[in-house]
Structure 1
Amino acid sequence: MCSPLHQPDGPLLPDAGRRTFLRAAALTGAAAAATGLVSATPAAALPQQNAGAATARWRPDPENPRFTLVVMPDTQYLFDGASINKAPVEASLRYVLDHGRDENIVFLSHLGDLTESGRTDEFEAIGEAFELLDRRQVGYSVVAGNHDIKSSTDDGRGRTPYLDTFGPRRMRQLPTFGGATPDGYNTYHVFRAAGREWLVLALDWRPSAASLAWARNVIAKHPDTPVVLTTHELVYADADGDEAEFSDHGEHLWDELIAGHDQIFLTLNGHYWPAGRTTRKNTAGNDVHLHITNYQNRYYGGSAMIRLYRFDLARNTIDVETVSPWILGRAGERLNDLERGEIEMTGPQDRFAVPIDFEKRFAGFAPVPVRGPRPAEQLLIPGTVAYWRFDSPAHPDGSAAADLRVPDLSGHRNDLVREAVPGSAPDALRWSTDHHPDQPGHGSLYFDGSKPPLRGAYLRTENNAPLNTKTFRSGYTIEAFLRLPADWDAGRNAWGAVLGRRGTLGAAGKTSGDSDEPVATLSVSDGPGLQWAAAPLNQPGAVTNWSHELSRDRWWHVAVVNDGKHTTMYVDGCVVARNPATRTTGLATAGLPWLLGAYEYGGRLDQLMHGWLGDIRIVERPLRVRDFMTAPTPPPH
């Protein structure tokens, strides 16, 4: 199909050579490297690539938050009567096989116009190419474009070479195939990625009213599943590819299906060029991303270029890249002038990122269950010597925490009592219902400390608490939940401590470093970041672990773990970079109380915490990440 504006997608790109050639081997794998093609040969006479099967095993990781959906647009000029060359398509399909593991490729969608005239010989050729995926049981979908069938018909058209080649009989052999309309022209496919199911709805060139009803029913039977809709025609773009618009048929699909089904968050179509995209609000008020992908107007019919939609749920982003594995596979050889411009598309409509807060976007049909509070008994794993939490329903949110005594839920009598700097307001320590989403107790204390002048309140263990004298020779794990407010300021709030030990290095007999520093403190630096500075039993002074800088106004979980030999800090279950290799055994003690929310220097209060503290637990053994308080299920006792 011609562009609605009947013009190509601008001038060919300049040589993308130096950067692309350096990464060609990494992108294409062994299969592409063995092509043996030379640019001096006329394009139509280029021999096919090595048809040897890919060696990489296709087994996507269903739990990895990063996965790739591959999209192949119109390939019609490669399958045009007597002009048939399946090598470019095979190169793209080998890319899927070669990089299935490192890219975590979960699925491939062809957007229609597989062939130019819908002839049997054309479909036989492209059908043979797709056997590369069939043999490895790689999930994929295809849709009919207007060149694959008689364009004036809808999906009730009956038998065609397209249906004979890519109908349900073939598709049902694939593990991702979900079902089809009775006519066979509309299909749906389900794959698992990032710990959940995703659905690809592949619609015909002109789905009938009955088929649209079928599509609605498919979505209704998968009520919690995000849907990617693929079809040949939906949106088109202007000459620059900016702000795509609906075609008349696309408007029909939007009104009859897309707008009213919140699960459809992304649509992909070919047919028109240039490439373009837009975003529309559905009836639920959520964004639907509508993308057009088609390069048939470019050199060698687009050379079976593919789009890589790299979903990254950890970063809430889809990174999109457009490459030609067929040309890229020969990037180390002498390419002709046109090929050099087609290796990789780098325009703003070809290489871009789509920011999506997946949890928020899918909340209307698949909300993430709110994790309820967990009984304290569930957190008392073997070795727990202190556990404090601040979820007190008897105290209203924001009320002053005065005359406070916090029990040690471990039963070891390490209770906490409130102390305050003289002159501090009664509400310098306040109850709060705010908490980390994975925190066992659904409550916290807000510490409103600062200096100068020094103001605020804090908690401490009593003088006779057993925790005061523990040395943790066999190791320890200290965990805490914290949140810094938006107004946290380094000049007023830096070095407020989450918790630490009263007593100086000098008093504990340590001869290295500043003798006035405390024997142990988990403090918030001026970054703000976390610093664990503690004196082990076997060192002459303190050894320090550092976190990265922490964003304000979000909850964090920190764990400091000592295995009897080394100390490691974790933030949100992830190892931080600045963990020293110094041998560290146990913790020095002056036999004095522990402090929560306060930092001492020279044996005197020097700074108080400004922010929220949630549950805090101390265990006298090293824990694994799966045993932290953020663990999805309680560890076995």
Structure 2
Amino acid sequence: MLASGLAGAGAAAAGPFLLPQNARAAAPAAPASASGRVFTLAVIPDTQYLFDGESLHPEPLAETMKSLSGLKGLVFVAHLGDVVQNGLAQEVEAAKKPFDILVKKKIPFSVIAGNHDLPNSNTDDQRGPTPFLDAFAPLTSRQRIARDAGGYNSAYTVDGAGTQFLLLALDWRLSTAGIAWARSVLEANAGTPTIITVHDSVSADSGTGVQSTHGKLVWEKLVNEYPQVFLSINGHFWPSGRLTRENAAGRPVELHLANYQQLYFGGAAAVRLYRFDLDRRVVDVSTEVPHIEAGGLNELEREELQLTAATDRFSFALPPSLTPPVRREPRPAAAMLIRGTEAYWRFEGTGPLATGSRVADASGRGNALIVAGPSTVPLSFASDSHPAQPAGSSLTFSGSKETGAYLLTADNAPINKASFGNGYTFEAFFKLPEPFTGDSAWSAIISRWVSAKAAGRVKGEVDEPAATLSVSGGPELQWCIYPANLERSVTNWGHELRSSRWWHVAVVNDGRHTTMYVDGCSVVRNPSTVNKGLAGGETGAPWAVGAYSWAGELDKMWLGSIGDIRIVSRALAPGEFMIA
């Protein structure tokens, strides 16, 4: 049974799954990010058993600090309290020395008081001077923007890959004055994403996170009413656990418990790493024990080389409001008319589009699009778009084969007869619906409205279009074409796409090979087959946007959104794409 309150200790529970030394190489590494919008917050929970009376072992904590001082992308270190066992001056002095490593490296950090750090834990944050406060208050001034009158609560700014965060480091027992101070900081930083560290908040004796009495106070007074708070981390209890709650604004808040003091050697100053990836909009969490990694291993140390339970290694999504996409300023159509532009369609307007409505070709080459289909559920303009799209709007497709609408190039459009013998680049912005179902599968962003059979081909699925940029049931992008120099089809395949987000696709042919790019990145399944040009131009058949034909007849309607489309009669480098 878990012990709480003043003891601050948890009884033995089902232990985490611990990775043996010989399996260490199999542990998943944090994913890479080329953008650089990645940073790490390190959290060190209860180290009290290393500093207990005359039993003083600063080496594990020093090893953790050394490891952190060399960690690329580290922006802040937060200790969760119970630094020492009895709040004695000699304990605090021994525990203070490893923090000097961070001071010398100019790495900002915070240290909050746990119940064991205090001579009298029956006190709140107005308790006055203690050996803990005397030692750590002067050390933690780097990037501290505020400190309460009692000295036990403080606030820090954290620069996370160009995004400003606020970290509140709060005492183990908040007073009325302490809560008022914390609220004033939150209100003064209402637009800043905020992390709270506090010693006592969530326990997880049953395996599921449960808020303690003090945790409920923190939630009610400092979390629920403040939508910028998205993460709270505490120690105090064991085993580790987590809980997600919705605040008053309906936003999810992650409530995490991290504590390893019940493990061998008092947890050996295990450290939890929160790796924020703002482009993936994900935080990857892992737990490591640098002291054990650094030395020769005894039998028990081998068992605790890395902690890999579901509560020690996991990921969670950042709130969308925290990581809004960096949106570029709209660019005029003229800026997109590079050499070789054959067609360029931008979907700018308001309201629905009736059957027969025209969308102009911004290239000036006369390839207008005309709305076709039943249009019971018409196409509609939307102000939604990819953050890097030149135009800030798109078309929404929401009808079925029986009720929807699509677009066809005009009968006299020059692009209908284009064969692209010298190469091509087809680009489009699009978004898949949420959820993505079978109704959405195998329609096309853009396709040639003529079958391969009608284009003179006899091998393969010749009722399919002579050229199509489609999305499979995966959903994966597919560029399937019948080249002018081959009797069969050649296909490029993308990877599985997440729905309800915008993508950019480009397919580029240099007269010999075709390469697909998704958001400017080359995919893996690009065929090595030499292929030149596109069949079907000799028929003069139109191109369709938002529909797929079979044997020359409407078969599938696109569901989702389509933004700017540009067709260029030469191979473009990624730096020339509309997304660049």
Q: TM-score, normalised by structure 2?
A: 0.82
* Aligned-partner SS, 1:123: helix
> Counterpart of 1:596 in 2: which secondary structure?
strand
Change (3 A) 1:107 1:593: same
| Distance apart, 1:122 and its partner CA | 2.8
- Say whether the 8 Å CA contact 1:70–1:308 is kept in structure 2: yes
Aligned to 1:596: 544
Which of 221, 224, 227 is the matching residue for 2:194?
227
Match of 1:44 in 2: none
- Looking at structure 2, the residues matched to 519 and 62 of structure 1 have their Cα atoms a distance apart, in angstroms, of 37
1:323-338 to 2 correspondences below 5 Å: 323-330=288-295, 333=296, 335-336=298-299, 338=300
**Alignment deviations for residues 538-573 of structure 1 (CA, whole Å, 9 cap, x no partner):** 667543211234566665432213355542223344
Q: Tell me: CA distance 1:590–1:17, structure 2 relative to 1, closer, same or farther (3 Å).
A: same
Aligned to 2:395: 444
SS at 1:220 equivalent: helix
Structure 2: which amino acid aligns with 1:575?
A: S
What whole-Å deviation, never above 9, does each CA across 1:127-169 have from its counterpart, x for those lacking one? 221222223222321112233333355445555443443224x
Classify 1:307/1:339 alpha carbon distance in 2 versus 1 (closer, same or farther; 3 Å): same
Find out whether 1:244 has 2:247 as its counterpart. Answer: no
CA distance in 2 between partners of 1:71 and 1:89 (Å): 12
Q: Which of 606, 612, 616 matches 2:565? A: 616
Structure 2 residue identity aligned to 1:228: I
The answer to whether the 8 Å contact 1:450/1:610 transfers is no
**Does the 8 A contact of 1:61 with 1:193 survive in 2?**
no
Letter in structure 1 aligned against 2:157 = V
Q: Quote how far apart the aligned CAs of 1:446 are.
A: 3.1
TM-aligned CA distance change 1:97 to 1:472, over 3 Å = farther
1:463 pairs with one of 399, 412, 431: 412
In the superposition, relative to structure 1, how do residues 276 and 515 fare at CA in structure 2: closer, same or farther (>3 Å)? closer
What is the identity, as a one-letter code, of the residue corresponding to 1:8? A
Query: Partner letter of residue 60 of structure 2?
Result: P
Secondary structure of 1:131's partner? helix
Displacement of 1:518 after TM fit?
Answer: 5.2
Question: CA 1:284/1:561 → structure 2, altered by over 3 Å: closer, same or farther?
Answer: same
Coordinate RMSD, CA, aligned: 4.2
| 1:164-203 map, 5 Å | 164-168=134-138, 170-172=139-141, 174=142, 176-193=143-160, 195-203=162-170
2:132 aligned residue (155, 162, 182): 162
SS of corresponding position for 1:134: helix
Name the residue aligned to 1:78: 50
Give the structure 1 partner of residue 319 of structure 2. 358
**1:164-563, aligned counterparts within 5 Å?**
164-168=134-138, 170-172=139-141, 174=142, 176-193=143-160, 195-238=162-205, 240-247=206-213, 249-313=214-278, 317-330=282-295, 333=296, 335-336=298-299, 338-348=300-310, 350-351=311-312, 353=314, 355-360=316-321, 362=322, 375-377=332-334, 379-381=336-338, 383-393=340-350, 396-397=351-352, 401-418=354-371, 425=374, 427=376, 430-433=379-382, 435-438=384-387, 440-444=391-395, 446=397, 448=399, 450=401, 458-463=407-412, 465=414, 468-469=417-418, 471=420, 473=422, 475-481=424-430, 483=432, 489=438, 495-501=442-448, 519-525=466-472, 527-535=474-482, 542-550=489-497, 556-563=503-510
Superposed displacement of residue 514, structure 1: 7.2
Answer yes or no: is the 8 Å Cα contact 1:13–1:341 preserved in 2: no
Answer yes or no: is the 8 Å Cα contact 2:509–2:515 preserved in 1. Answer: yes
- Counterpart-to-counterpart distance in 2, 1:413 and 1:605: 25
* CA–CA distance in structure 2, aligned partners of residues 427 and 25 of structure 1: 50
Shift of 1:243: 3.3
Other-structure match for 1:133? 102
1:256 shift after superposition: 3.5
State the aligned residue count. 570
| Letter in structure 2 aligned against 1:351 | D
What whole-Å deviation, never above 9, does each CA across 1:290-343 have from its counterpart, x for those lacking one?
A: 33333333332221122233445555554433332222444xx5523x434433
Amino acid paired to 2:136: F
Does the Cα contact within 8 Å between 1:385 and 1:412 map onto a contact in 2?
Answer: yes
* Contact kept in structure 1, 2:18 and 2:307, CA below 8 Å: no
Could you report, residue by residue, the CA deviation over 1:451-494 in whole angstroms, capped at 9, with x for unpaired residues? Answer: 9xx9976512433526633626264343243546868647xx86
* Partner Cα separation in structure 2 for residue 624 and residue 67 of structure 1: 31
Q: Is the 8 A contact 2:47 2:266 kept in 1?
A: yes
Q: Indicate how the Cα distance of structure 1 residues 566 and 142 shifts in structure 2: closer, same or farther if over 3 A, else same.
A: farther
- Secondary structure of 2:538's partner? coil
Q: Which runs of 5+ in 1 are unaligned?
A: 28-59
Q: Distance in 2 between matches of 1:322 and 1:413?
A: 60
* 2:371 and 2:405 in contact (8 A); partners too: no
* 1:113 and 2:82 are equivalent in the alignment: yes
- Aligned match for 1:580, one of 502, 527, 534: 527
Counterparts of 2:499 and 2:317, CA distance in 1: 22
* 1:211-262 residue CA offsets vs partner (Å, 9 max, x unmatched): 4333233323322211111122334444x34332323x44443444333322
Q: Secondary structure at the match of 2:494?
A: strand
Distance 1:18 1:568, change over 3 A: same
Which residue number corresponds to residue 17 of structure 1? 20
